[in-house]
C-alpha cells in the first residue's frame, strides 16, 4: 500500500495556510532538492502539511520520474469569462486547529525555502460556520466519504506513482454584494442546492446553468468525481474561496472547468462565475509520502 500524504485527508481544520512558491530562475536541481528536503523535514506539532509540485519543478526534483498526465495549468474559457493560468512551482498547504502553530510552520518553511523559491501567493483560510462557503452555502456535501475519498483522489495501486494525487488550486474572488442582492430562491438556483440544508434541487426546477448542473459531469459514463478541500479565505476588503481539489485523473479538472466556463460544447456557463472570479490557476502533483521522502536523497 502506497501511503498518501496524510494531510490530504485530515478534515475539520479551523485554520489553513495556502502558500504558492515560484522557483528562482537559474537554481540547479541539486540545490532545489536539498533545500526542499530540509523544508519537508521541518516538524511542527499539530500541523497537517501537504506538499505538491508543478510539472516543471517536479521534473527537476523527481527521483522516480513524472506521472504521465502531469502538465502545467493552461487557461480555460473565452472572452471575459476565463479561468487564468498562473502556474507556480511549489504548493504548501498547512492546516489544523492551532493557528499559531500553522503560522510558525509557514514562516519556518518560507525561511528555509528562501534561497531557492519565492513566496508568490499566500491565502489564509478558515472554517466558516458549519463548513460553508462565504456565499452561505455548505461546500462539500457531494464529496466522497470513507474509502471512496482515496479511490477518487489517488493514483491507484499498481500504477506508477501510486498514492500520489493530481491537484487543482484556484483563488476565487467573490462579489458577495451582488450575490447577496439575490433572493434566497435565486441564490439556490445559482448553486443548485437549498441554502439552509444543502438539499439538491429537483430535476424539474434545477437550472441547466446552476453550479451543480455544470460541475456534475459524466464523460463516457464515468462521473468526474473530485475530492474537494476548498476553504474560504480573506477579510472584508477581499474574500472568496481557495478552491483545492484532489483527483486520480488530471483530465477531470479540465472537463469540469470546460463545462463551468462554457467551452464544453453546449455554450452554457456556470451562473456562479457571474458572482465569483478565479484569479489564479495551478496544477500540482502531490506525491505519496514515500516518494516525498525521497526528495533530495538521490
Ligand atoms: C467560487 C468557486 C466555487 C464555489 C463557491 C463552489 C461551491 C460549491 C457548492 C456550494 C457546492 C454544492 C455542495 C457540494 O456538493 O459540495 C459545490 C459542488 C461541487 N463543486 Fe463547486 N464551488 C466552486 C468552484 C468549483 C470548481 C472550480 C470546481 C471544479 C473544478 C467545482 C466542483 C464541484 C463539484 C464536482 C461539486 C459536486 C457536484 C455534484 O456532483 O453534485 N466547484 N460547489
Residues of the chain with pLDDT under 50: none
Domain boundaries, the chain: 6-293
* Nearest CA owner, ligand 1 atom 17: 139
Counting ligand 1 atoms within 8 A of each CB, the residue from 211, 229, 244 with the most, and so the one to mutate, is: 211
H-helix segments, the chain? 29-41, 55-61, 99-113, 147-153, 176-180, 184-191, 211-215, 251-260, 289-293
Residue 279, by phi and psi: left (phi above 0), alpha (psi -120 to 50) or beta?
alpha
Tens digits of residue pLDDT in 148-161:
999 999 999 999 99
The alpha carbon of 3 and the centre of ligand 1 are apart by a number of angstroms equal to: 27
* Nearest CA owner, ligand 1 atom 40: 216
**Taking the CA of residue 143 as centre, how many other CA atoms within 13 Å lie in the half-sphere pointing to its CB?**
21
* Nearest CA owner, ligand 1 atom 37: 142
Name the nearest CA neighbour of 142 among 199, 59, 207: 199
Counting ligand 1 atoms within 8 A of each CB, the residue from 188, 212, 258 with the most, and so the one to mutate, is: 212
206, three cell numbers: 434545477
Tens digits of residue pLDDT in 229-276:
999 999 999 999 999 999 999 999 999 999 999 999 999 999 999 999
The Cα 134–Cα 128 span in angstroms is: 7
What pLDDT was estimated at residue 68? 92
Amino acid at each position: 500500500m502506497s501511503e498518501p500524504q496524510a494531510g490530504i485527508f485530515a478534515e475539520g481544520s479551523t485554520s489553513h495556510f495556502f502558500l504558492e512558491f515560484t522557483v528562482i530562475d537559474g537554481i540547479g536541481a541539486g540545490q532545489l532538492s536539498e533545500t526542499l528536503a530540509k523544508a519537508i523535514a521541518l516538524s511542527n506539532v499539530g500541523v497537517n502539511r501537504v506538499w505538491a509540485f508543478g510539472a516543471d519543478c517536479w521534473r527537476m526534483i523527481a527521483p522516480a520520474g513524472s506521472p504521465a498526465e502531469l502538465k502545467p495549468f493552461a487557461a480555460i474559457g473565452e472572452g471575459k469569462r476565463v479561468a487564468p493560468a498562473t502556474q507556480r512551482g511549489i504548493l504548501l498547504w498547512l492546516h489544523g486547529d492551532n493557528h499559531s502553530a500553522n503560522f510558525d510552520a509557514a514562516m519556518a518553511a518560507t525561511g528555509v525555502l528562501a534561497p531557492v523559491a519565492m513566496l508568490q501567493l499566500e491565502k489564509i483560510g478558515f472554517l466558516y460556520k458549519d463548513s460553508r462557503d462565504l456565499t452561505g452555502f455548505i461546500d462539500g456535501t457531494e464529496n466522497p466519504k470513507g474509502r471512496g475519498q482515496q479511490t477518487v483522489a489517488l493514483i491507484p495501486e499498481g500504477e506508477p506513482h501510486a498514492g500520489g494525487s493530481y491537484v487543482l488550486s484556484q483563488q476565487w474572488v467573490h462579489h458577495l454584494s451582488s450575490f447577496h442582492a439575490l433572493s434566497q430562491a435565486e441564490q439556490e438556483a445559482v448553486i443548485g442546492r437549498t441554502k439552509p440544508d444543502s438539499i439538491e434541487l429537483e430535476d424539474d426546477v434545477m437550472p441547466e446553468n446552476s453550479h451543480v448542473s455544470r460541475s456534475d459531469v459524466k464523460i463516457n459514463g464515468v462521473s468526474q468525481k473530485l475530492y474537494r478541500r476548498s476553504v474560504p479565505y480573506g477579510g472584508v476588503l477581499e474574500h472568496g474561496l481557495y478552491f483545492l481539489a484532489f483527483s486520480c485523473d488530471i483530465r477531470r479538472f479540465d472537463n469540469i472547468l470546460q463545462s463551468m466556463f462554457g467551452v464544453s460544447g453546449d455554450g452554457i456557463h456556470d451562473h456562479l462565475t457571474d458572482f465569483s472570479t478565479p484569479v489564479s490557476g495551478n496544477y500540482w502533483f502531490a506525491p505519496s509520502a514515500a516518494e516525498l521522502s525521497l526528495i533530495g536523497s538521490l
